[in-house]
Structure 1
Amino acid sequence: MRKAIILFTRAPIPGRTKTRMMPWLSPGECAGLHRAMLTDIAAECRRTEADLFVYFTPGEEEAAALLRPLFGEEVPLTAQSGADLGQKMFRAIAQVLGRGYDACVLTGADIPLLSAPVYERAFRGLASADLVFGPSEDGGYYLVGMKEPHPEAFQIPSYGHEKVLDNTLEGLRSAGLSVAFTDTLFDVDTHEDLLRYRDALCSSPAPDLRATGRFTADHLVLSIIVITYNEARTVDRMLEQMRPFRRGEGRTEVIFVDGGSTDGTAEKIETAGFRLLRTQKGRGLQLNAGAEASRGDILFFLHCDSVLPEDFDRQIRDIMIMNEYGCFGVRFPSRNFFMWTNRWISNFRAKRRAIVFGDQGIFLDRRLFFRMGEFPEIPLMEDYQFSLTLRSAGYRPVMARRRILSSARRYRGSTMTKLLRMKQMYELRRRYRRGEDPAELFEEYESENWEESVLPGRRRHRNG
């Protein structure tokens, strides 16, 4: 059987294509998204045994020059002709079948999940039916195929409404024509549609990061939320790391959230020209305030004393195009054996037990963050509880290739002091899980005499 695929498309001209993506994408970026989708369609068509014919919107003089590099010299490019969409589709199908093909299917260019297996299922449908349709979720169809021209398929009075497929099928049944169906898919016309496409990649057992996926990864908005409280000694280094994103333009924004510093931290941030929110002190409260004020598709929560790998934003985007939740591994600026052990335990805990702490740089899908109820606004354990909440909902973090360098300032002192602090943190988490008051745990954690709570025989007994 000689098979053909007809692609109906606009040329990827800025300002004329994917305009419903604006203002989230610029006109040039809209054209870039269209090019990516056409690149994927061309690749999928080459995986089939069908020949490809491209029909472009009439009146676009530069169409051939823009489309030829995407499809190659061997693919015919033809301007659509006809008074309305139905007539244009019928004429294209009649022309291609007139070339001696046994079957052809016609599709649009707005379906990035359209793949070679979908085309093949459509052709198999034509083995036992007069026509085949690929239903779209908005009530229309993205694919129509037949073995001989059937004008009855294109006689509805209008397109672009939720009854297009129903009205078409009603006319075909009246004509006594049989119909088969291939996969139901959705168009990608808006920002929300593109995020849904990303969701489909996340849920796929074997996601295929094609050109549209790479474009999406590059254009997701990343919001970096840095919380501060009396960080005058560390904030300069963080400001320098964030300097490339200071203006908040493009696809990355930075929001500092200060909890009432008295050492000049907030003034340094303002002088450096960064966006600053002022709140009451409290990590959960500050993190939530930053998230609520952000515009990002991805939220990245960061401690001020962290040192990031150079390409941290690229690593986040690469992970988040096919995942909803991730983190960095952690390392410490210490050669102490027990600090190395602490590093190993922290990273193992994130990978194997899905427990991530704030110093590992938690990043996740904005919608997931708010769906999980944000960080609990408690004095201590806000990151621990948030990880537990995500894990209980079935989410596990994907760890980036490189590590965040996290301050070891809470582990100051001798090796014994480091071990006592590690033991204290373990005990505090255990007691939190047993239901003890986070405010009391925080008071104990911040106490100048904290060692007494973990030395044998010193900690006062509590009821769980």
Structure 2
Amino acid sequence: MTLNLKSQNQKNLLLIFTRNPELGKCKTRLAAKVGDQTALEIYTFLLAHTHAITKEAKATKEVHYSEEIWDDDIWEPAHYHKKIQSGGDLGERMSKAFSDGFEAGYKNIIIIGSDMYDLSTADLNTAFQELDKKPFVIGPAEDGGYYLLGMSKMNSGLFKNKAWGTDTVLKDSLNDLSNEDVKLLKIKNDVDHYEDIQHIKAFEPFLKKLKI
């Protein structure tokens, strides 16, 4: 029997932005070093990790696909609503997802990607708890971006005038929130480049066959 997902948690909404795992279309910066096939294998591994840490998070979950909804994949309809990202650049797509969530009546909304091996269920639950105290929560990434953004009120300015995928995103976002109360979480490493994973044991099976 399919569960009524919104009844599980009327307050918290977790947005998970993913790319459809297709050869040559995911982790392109990583693929430049390790090749398309290995990059796909690594991304598939990261998707499985994201599924594992989000499944028991204390929130309603939405998976937002980059290209098209896949019915038969790891995101079970009993636990995840499935949607398509809507908008031009990443900022527009995230803004739309947050706006829709607030309009649906959720109070605390968090967005993450699907390439965070360092992230845990406890991290997500802690972030939601922080949103009960402060209106904004940000998880800074080592590369100058962020791996998590949480809001308890809409701020559309966070999604405008950003050079997405660069090391200025975090700084520019914090400037947008200079007059707001913000909780900064621990700095974590997301996976975009070979250097992000070359010394992490979990990725050794994917890298040991490469001649780099």
* TM norm. shorter chain > 0.5: yes
Partner of 2:145: 140
In 2: Cα distance, 1:26 partner to 1:83 partner: 28
Give how far 1:217 is off: 3.7
Name the residue aligned to 2:155.
Answer: 150
- How far the C-alpha of 1:24 sits from its partner, in A, is 5.1
Partners of 2:32 and 2:187 lie apart in 1 by: 29
2:40 aligned partner: 31
- Contact 1:90 1:151 (C-alpha < 8 Å) held by counterparts: yes
Report the 3-state secondary structure (helix = DSSP H, G, I; strand = E; otherwise coil) of the residue aligned with 1:8. Answer: strand
Rate the CA distance shift 1:172–1:24 in 2: closer, same or farther, 3 A.
Answer: closer
Q: Is the 8 A contact 1:3 1:103 kept in 2?
A: yes
Determine the structure 2 residue equivalent to 1:19: 28
How big is each residue's C-alpha offset from its partner over 1:247-302, in whole Å with a ceiling of 9 and x where there is no partner? xxxx28xxxxxxxxxxxxxxxxxxxxxxxxxxxxxxxxxxxxxxxxxx57xxxxxx
Contact 2:50–2:115 (8 Å) recurs in 1? no
Task: Flag the structure with higher helix content.
Answer: 1
- Give the AA of the match of 1:54: V
SS at match of 1:52: strand
- Give, in angstroms, the shift of residue 25 of structure 1: 3.5
Shift of 1:103: 0.7
Map 1:51-62 onto structure 2 (within 5 A): 51-57=60-66, 60=67
1:129 alignment partner, one of 126, 134, 159: 134
Amino acid at match of 1:84: D
Partner amino acid, structure 2, of 1:172:
L
Superposed CA deviations along residues 175-195 of structure 1, whole A, max 9, x for unmatched, are x32111222111212222112
Question: Among residues 8, 15, 18, which one is paired with 1:9 in the alignment?
Answer: 18
RMSD: 2.1
2:75 corresponds to 1:71: yes
Pick from 110, 113, 132: which aligns with 2:115? 110
- Using the size of structure 2 for normalisation, the TM-score is 0.86
Specify which of 169, 175, 198 is matched with residue 195 of structure 1. 198
CA positional deviation for 1:68: 4.2
- Give me the whole-angstrom Cα distance separating, in 1, the residues matched to 2:38 and 2:74: 17
Q: Does 1:160 align with 2:147?
A: no
Match of 1:41 in 2: 50
Measured in 1, the distance between the counterparts of 2:187 and 2:24 equals 29
Aligned pairs, number:
202
Counterpart contact for 2:144–2:168, Cα < 8 Å: yes
Shift of 1:85: 1.6
Aligned position for 2:4: none
Amino acid at match of 2:60: D
For 1:197 and 1:141, the matched residues in 2 are separated by 20
Q: Which moved more, 1:132-141 or 1:118-127?
A: 118-127
Deviation sequence 1:350-409 (CA, Å, 0-9, x none) = xxxxxxxxxxxxxxxxxxxxxxxxxxxxxxxxxxxxxxxxxxxxxxxxxxxxxxxxxxxx
Q: Verify: 1:179 aligned to 2:182, yes or no.
A: yes
Q: 2:175 aligns with which of 166, 170, 173?
A: 170
In the alignment, the residues of structure 2 paired with residue 81 and residue 23 of structure 1 have an alpha-carbon distance, to the nearest angstrom, of 27
Residues 153/23 of structure 1: CA separation in 2 closer, same or farther (3 Å cut)? closer
Map 1:230-309; keep pairs closer than 5 Å. Answer: 251=209, 295=211
Within the alignment, does 1:92 sit opposite 2:97 as a pair? yes
Shift of 1:20: 2.4
What code does the residue aligned with 2:59 have? A
Residues 180-233 of structure 1, C-alpha deviation per residue, up to 9 Å, x if partnerless? 1222111212222112433xxxxxxxxxxxxxx3xx242232xxxxxxxxxxxx
User: What is the TM-score normalised by the length of structure 1?
Assistant: 0.41
Alpha-carbon contact 1:125-1:181 (below 8 Å) kept:
no
> Is there any run of 5+ residues in structure 1 with no aligned partner, and where?
199-212, 222-250, 253-294, 297-464
Q: Which has the higher contact order (CA 8 A, sep 6+)?
A: 2
Aligned-residue identity in percent: 27
Assess if the C-alpha contact under 8 Å between 1:118 and 1:183 holds in 2: no
Deviation at 1:72, TM superposition (A): 1.0
Choose 1 or 2 for highest CA Rg.
Answer: 1
Q: Which residue of 2 aligns with 1:82?
A: 87
